[in-house]
A and B are shown apart, each in its own frame.
Chain A
Amino acid sequence: MAFVIGGLFAAGIYMMLRRSLVKLLIGLALLTQSVNLLIFDAAQLVRARIPIVPEGEHALLPPYADPLPQAFILTAIVISFGVTSFAVALAYRALRTVGTDDLDRIGETELS
């Protein structure tokens, strides 16, 4: 698990360091995925029951999974979904207005 996370982080950061805007977005997407895995891992990944009180019982039966990290990750996924779709639209617009996805060339406007 740690290797997967590390690999995803490395790939994400490598992509972000490229000059192309599209690759930058792919890098960001990879990073968010690796963070989701990291939360999962940090909160101890175990084989366990779902954290719902079974019928006829009055308390959770151990071992049960911690529901909070799953809720965190679900929220993070939803948010990153929204943000990524916006970023893709932005990249598309940048491509149309500037005519390139090369970050250096987009940045030339800075000087004027």
Chain B
Amino acid sequence: MTDLLLVLPVLIPMSTGILTLLAWRRRRLQRGLSLAGAAGLLAAGVALFAEVSGPGILSSQIGGWPAPFGITFVADLFSAVMVLVAGLVGFTVALYSLTSIDPILESFGYHPLYHFLLMGVSGAFLTGDLFNLYVWFEVMLVSSFVLMALGGGRRRTDGAVKYVTLNLLSSTLFLVALGILYGLAGTLNMADLAGKFAQVSASQPVGVLRMLPMLFLIAFGIKAAAFPLFFWLPASYHTPPIAISALFAGLLTKVGVYALIRVFSLIFVGDTAYTHTLILVIAGLTMVTGVFGAISQNEFRRILSFHIVSQIGYMIMGLGLGTPLGLAAAVFYIAHHIFVKTNLFLISGVVQRLGGTLDLRKLGGLYATRPVVAGLFLVPALSLAGVPPLSGFFAKLGLVQAGVADGRYLIVAVSLAVSLLTLYSMTKIWNEAFWKKAPEAGAREGARPDADLRAPLVPVALLAAVTVVVGLAAGPVFGVAERAGAQLAHPAGYIEAVLGGGSR
């Protein structure tokens, strides 16, 4: 049962991908399959979460090879939460893309790629082996490359070139780090490494021991878009179709953050004074540069892209604190961020449909004509800025508490200031797009103010509801995050689950 549950989040998107490939020319069948597959992934996520939140960490040795040699799939609470949220986002974006995606893109294989991407994401969340993590990263990236470049056009090709180059570079660095790590420790199983790396550390010069975590930090830092390697993200995320950029914004960088947290809470824990302080500094700088970048922009999706960068800072801050509370807050923050940010991107799609553009200078008056859209924008926007009682408030509260408890007042101050600036820039979007009077009534191309929005608004409303519910039920939800954080901070249980017998 455990074995089945652990591989299902990978198998379901994979089989959906295959089926949609087979239904290549039948568009309606493809769409139905796509939605059903996404729903299946969500269900698998729920089932996995239910199982993991009970007895504890699950593991399965793929192929029946015992742990340090074969590939292990592990699900602790953190992985389970991530898979659950990925399923949720996958489902809502699939729903949204049914109403919005260009039929031409569908004929180029949008649906199969979408599901292979989801497969890579959930594989990365579940694997217990660093090399396997690399493979899942690549599965995810290759699908995302194609999705990014799909359909062509000058801007999209340009964005794709940057995206592909930077991500390939980071994969290469990751591989370098893997090679050296294997040379040192002789294993790449994460649980096995946790013990072996500490042993090896005793006999190696400190330079080597510091270089390795740094290589991992850079490699995952590029993927997670942390300072100073974030620039590819705002340069490319605003080019693909809305549904695709919503999915990317929600999930892809978070896989990088997930990998960072996993590696730096499990393996590189010997030299925290050095590594984790550095991570904190990076976190602070990421927040600040991200939010300043956002303030200087005038395009809806670009503002949101820069906010992703700044939010990544918060997540890394939780990791840098390294305390159970800090890690718990980071887990909560990642989950919150995934659905809020996806939601904002989906709304930007709706706005684009109404106004024909995403340039804030040309938008306006949407509150008067479409109060529902405005209201739905307000929920995730305020949540992002951290206004109670929405989910973002509790995520930030947890981080601040953790920071204060640890005596790191500077980073706390920075994070609070950045919150204010986030609120400012959300207000800017609100003012420009919704509140101010519509600019000259000169009809713009593609503007359809009377478009029927009931279908695209369903997923948006769904995600907004999740934000509100998570905010209202913050106590129990944060309890889950706290347990996940405790599991991360004390990895003995994780190691035990992988190496100590496992399922066979």
Contact = CB atoms under 8 A, between A and B. Distances in A.
Interface string A64-102: 000011001001100100110011001101100110000
Interface in B147-188: 149, 152-155, 157-158, 160-161, 164-165, 168-169, 172, 175-176, 178-180, 182-184, 188
A72 B160 contact: no
B235 A110 contact: yes
A97 B153 contact: yes
Given A82-B142, A83-B138, A93 B157 contact: yes
A42 B172 contact: no
Given A43-B182, A87-B168, A35 B161 contact: no
Contacts of A94: 157-158, 161
Contacts of A86: 142, 145-146, 164
Contact of B154 (A75, A87, A97): A97
Given A76-B175, A83-B168, A97 B152 contact: yes
Contact of B172 (A24, A32, A72, A90): A32
Contacts of B164: 86-87, 90
A32 B180 CA distance: 15
Contact of A35 (B138, B165, B175): B175
A31 to B, nearest CB: 5
A82 B139 CA distance: 10
Contacts of A90: 145, 149, 157, 160-161, 164
Main secondary structure of the interface of B (DSSP, over half): helix
B131 interface: yes
Nearest to B176: A35
A21 B142 contact: no
B165 A24 contact: yes
B438 interface: no
A106 interface: yes
A48 interface: no
Given A35-B176, A79-B138, A97-B154, A72 B131 contact: yes
Contacts of A109: 154-155, 158
Contacts of B142: 79, 82-83, 86
B183 A42 contact: yes
A105 B366 CA distance: 37
Contact of A75 (B135, B141, B152): B135
A24 to B, nearest CB: 6
Contacts of A16: 165, 169
B387 to A, nearest CB: 33
Given A21-B161, A35-B176, A43 B131 contact: no
Contacts of A39: 175, 178-179, 182
21 contacts: A24-B165, A28-B172, A32-B175, A35-B179, A42-B179, A42-B183, A43-B183, A44-B183, A72-B178, A72-B182, A83-B142, A86-B145, A86-B146, A87-B168, A90-B164, A93-B152, A97-B152, A103-B161, A106-B161, A107-B158, A110-B158
Interface of A: 16, 21, 24, 28, 31-32, 35, 38-39, 41-44, 68-69, 72, 75-76, 79, 82-83, 86-87, 90-91, 93-94, 97-98, 103, 106-107, 109-110
